[in-house]
Structure 1
Amino acid sequence: MLIDIPDAGIILVSVLAFLGGLVTLYLYTKIRSSDGAEKIAPTNQERIDFYEKELIDMKIRLDIMELDGESFASSDLPKKKVKSLEKPEMEKQEFVVPKPNTSPRVPNMSFEDSLTRVLKLITNGPMTSRDVEVTFGKSREHVSRLMKKLFEDDFVGRDTSARPYRYTITEKGRGRIGSSEGDVVYAVSQ
């Protein structure tokens, strides 16, 4: 019985193709497994830690309530037989959930209301944009744009000798506060 042996080039190509397929399959499984494993972002990790602490706290509260004799189990279920031991007298502690710190909400204002309010703030004395931001309760970007617009329209003066700039109200600004209607009309997009 004679067996025909293929040429050496054909055998080499077949072996290389087989090895290439194995390498490709190995790389594909590595790439797929790294994409499939969901990585937890740091913000999600913080959220998970927070909820884990909350769950632990609730479990502790539930255990304390069960020790005090309160039961949340259904009356249909068989109860555990527990040896009664004398409980030492202890002060009952109340668990008070602290309320989160909330800052008062700044009402929505039109540009005209914001302009008038900032001018009234600066009337009391020179202020930096950071002072206005803290007192006014708006974002840094909002206050910076507002102060720039007030300076360009000559409602406030800017002391550029030191940073941060200090803003003072001008006569035109004082006139603006005094009048209910301004001579400048602003287009506001919200």
Structure 2
Amino acid sequence: MSHLESSTIHIQDPKSEPRGKFGDMKAVKVMGSGGGAVNRGLAVFDFILRLAALAAALGAAIAMGTSDQTLNFFTQFFQFHARYDDLPAFSFFVAANAVASAYLVLSLPFSIVSIVRPQASGVRMLLIIFDTIAVALISAGAGAAAAIVYLAHKGNNKINWGAICQQFGSFCERVSGAVVASFIAAFLFIVLVLISAASLRRN
């Protein structure tokens, strides 16, 4: 009588294997760390852009606020004088860029928090709200000043507005540079808003 040999294949239940669980958890953790690295990179870029925007806005406010030129004709008692506060648009420009600079200084600690905790959506939401307000403020100031600078360079014969930059060359160069710096700051604010929006979407 022949004996039939039988072989048994043991199949282990995947649910009873703890290594499978840890392996899945590890895979998920690796994927999560990759997303966190991207958010952290965006947060670092955000911090750098805030420093650049601070330099541009503060430089614009200082350049406009210190713009002053005096022309002497015949005697020292007969003078033509040009200052930024002679025009309300320039005064508003200085105030807008000063407020934006102060906000950027206050926002730096929040930007650092976003680097340390890239998944913190509350901080990013706060920044995107105030960044949008800053875009509107600094764009309004830059736009108002740009209109005056254009008239100073080109003039307007219909309203008898002469091109004063022919006489006040140093004054016009200074205020023109301030307006350009302010528009750069406004552009950087727009990029900051886009970065915050991208980070919120990834979260």
Structure with more of its chain in helix, by fraction: 2
TM-score normalised by the chain length of structure 1: 0.28
State the structure with bigger RCO (CA 8 A, min sep 6), 1 or 2: 2
